[in-house]
């Protein structure tokens, strides 16, 4: 078995303060035995406005947030999933919201670009979110083989699109990761519900690492970082504020559940549509 951590932050508009908070929480999770750690979406840049300039600075491994991930992973001998970082791309003036997986040697072994962008109206202080103004859509589902199992990478708003998670499960994913900055208005009714649903329908562990500043005056986020087992049981969770949620992942248990209830083998999609 392995110990995995969901890290919850209250990042603001100062990069160095955000990285300091992340480093302190990473150290706390490591002290609790975590070997794979998941940071929330926008962990370094939540609240920073000039996405284009940030994306240019982060376009290679010398970028401050990407360098931070590598240094922390090497220092602690852990695998680290870096929420999202804006990264410049060639084909678009907008950035890609990029989720990097860094191994214990500080090497970037995978990158997922967020597919579903949050262009919605929400009843909170911000009101309107248009993520596609600054970010372009990713187009590839990513599964990563690690010492802890196969990771399926997703980000925040992806959580509302079950077909992505089924695709990841079909590619062998055993642990589904959801770094997020889920709003407080939508998070209260939907966050845990959706995490548990994605776990149950795919018989996977799900790790949701969220921003947790419910009373932010401009962009409140729900928190509630949670780790769910493949049967839908909440193994650990947080409320608001910064913190770490650590739980053990048991792939033998996952495999037993899949043998008893082989939902992946029972799918029947060739349903005949009614005529007329």
Per the annotation, the verdict on 218 as an active-site residue is no
Active-site hit among 35, 58, 99, 114: 114
Burial of residue 1 (number of CB atoms within 10 Å: 0-12, 13-18, 19+): exposed
Give me the catalytic one of 58, 156, 204, 240: 156
Cβ-proximal residues to 225 (8 Å cutoff; 6+ apart), any chain: 6, 7, 8, 40, 208, 209, 210, 212, 237, 238, 243, 245
E strands present in the chain: 2-8, 36-39, 79-82, 85-88, 95-102, 108-113, 119-121, 128-130, 135-136, 142-146, 149-153, 175-180, 205-210, 226-228, 234-237, 243-249
Whether 41 is catalytic is yes
> What own/partner pairs with CB < 8 Å and gap ≥ 24 does 140-144 have?
140/112, 140/113, 140/115, 141/115, 141/167, 141/168, 141/171, 142/110, 142/111, 142/112, 143/168, 143/171, 143/172, 143/173, 144/101, 144/109, 144/110
What's the CA angle centered on 275, arms 273 and 276, to 5 degrees?
135
Separation of alpha carbons 150 and 125, rounded Å = 38
Count of residues making up the chain: 276
Closest CA to 211 of 184, 229, 235: 184
246: three-class secondary structure by DSSP? strand
Catalytic positions: 41, 114, 156
């Amino acid at each position: 078995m392995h110990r995995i951590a969901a890290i919850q932050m209250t990042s603001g508009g100062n990069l160095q303060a955000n990285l300091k908070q992340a480093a302190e929480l990473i150290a706390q999770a490591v002290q609790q035995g975590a070997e794979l750690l998941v940071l929330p979406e926008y962990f370094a840049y939540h609240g920073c406005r000039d996405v284009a300039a940030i994306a240019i600075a982060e376009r290679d491994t010398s970028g401050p947030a990407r360098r931070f991930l590598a240094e922390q992973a090497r220092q602690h001998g852990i695998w680290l999933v870096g929420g999202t970082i804006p990264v410049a791309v060639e084909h678009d003036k907008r950035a890609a919201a990029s989720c990097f997986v860094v191994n214990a040697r500080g090497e970037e072994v995978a990158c997922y670009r967020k597919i579903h962008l949050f262009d919605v109206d929400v009843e909170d202080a911000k009101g309107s979110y248009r993520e596609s103004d600054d970010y372009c859509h990713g187009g590839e589902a990513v599964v990563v083989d690690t010492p802890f199992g196969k990771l399926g990478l997703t980000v925040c708003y992806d959580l509302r699109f079950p077909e992505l998670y089924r695709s990841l499960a079909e590619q062998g994913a055993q642990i589904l990761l959801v770094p997020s900055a889920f709003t407080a208005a939508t998070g209260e009714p939907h966050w845990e519900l959706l995490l548990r649903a994605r776990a149950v329908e795919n018989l996977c562990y799900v790790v949701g690492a969220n921003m947790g500043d419910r009373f932010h005056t401009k962009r409140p986020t729900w928190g509630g970082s949670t780790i769910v087992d493949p049967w839908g049981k909440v193994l650990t969770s947080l409320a608001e504020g910064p913190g770490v949620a650590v739980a053990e992942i048991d792939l033998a248990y996952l495999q037993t559940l899949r043998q008893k209830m082989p939902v992946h083998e029972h799918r029947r999609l060739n349903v005949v549509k009614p005529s007329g």
